[in-house]
Amino acid sequence: MSIAETIDGAGVAQLAALIRRGELGAVELAERRLADIERRAARTNAFVTVDREGALAQAREADLALARCLPLGPLHGVPIAVKDNVLTAGLGSSAASAVLADGPLQGEAPLVARLRRAGAIVVAKTNMHEWAYGATNKGSHHGATRNPWDPRAITGGSSGGSAACVADGLLPLAIGTDTGG
């Protein structure tokens, strides 16, 4: 099996292990995931922001840390996405609302800070139902998110962008939230 085939079918733990063993570079993985996002993301509308330059900078730092034998977290070099209602430094958060479109909220949620400390690379912010309050993921200022397996079906819940990006194999992990319980 080629490394490309391994990357495409790998989960979070497998990707982290490949990077840790030096069989896969964080930059190589980030570039592959970003290329897939660029090619395929429009069909699902899963993302509101993709931070190509930031992701590649984080990946270069991850590879450098490995080369310097620095302590590595359990998610070292693994690319992830974060739902647009979770504050993410440098990317802003609009909660998929027109109200915040011109002035997204800034800051970093403790969840994202912990993921970064664990070594995760934040690649993108995912689309969602506006204010995380809806079951279809059709009510977004950025347009509806489409199910990658069947565009006639919904992605479900307000975290549909996160669900779509993982289901489509664009990223191995994406953060979602639960508003209604």
Q: Could you report the per-residue pLDDT of 2-23, keeping only the tens digit for each?
A: 666 678 878 999 999 999 999 9
CB 15 within 8 A of CB 172: yes
Q: For residues 115 and 132, what is the distance between their CA atoms, to the nearest angstrom?
A: 21
Model confidence pLDDT, tens digit, residues 86-131: 999 999 899 899 888 877 778 999 999 999 999 999 999 999 999 9
- The domains located in the chain, with CATH, are 3-175 (3.90.1300.10)
Task: Give the pLDDT mean for 33-62.
Answer: 96
The DSSP code sequence of 59-102 is HHHHHHHHHTT----TTTT-EEEEETTS--TTT-B-TT-GGGSS
CB contact at 8 A, 77 and 121: yes
> Which amino acid is present at 170?
L
Q: Give the pTM.
A: 0.93
Q: How far apart are alpha carbons 104 and 73 in whole angstroms?
A: 30
State the Cα–Cα distance between residues 25 and 63, nearest whole angstrom: 6
The CA distance from 85 to 94, in Å, is 6
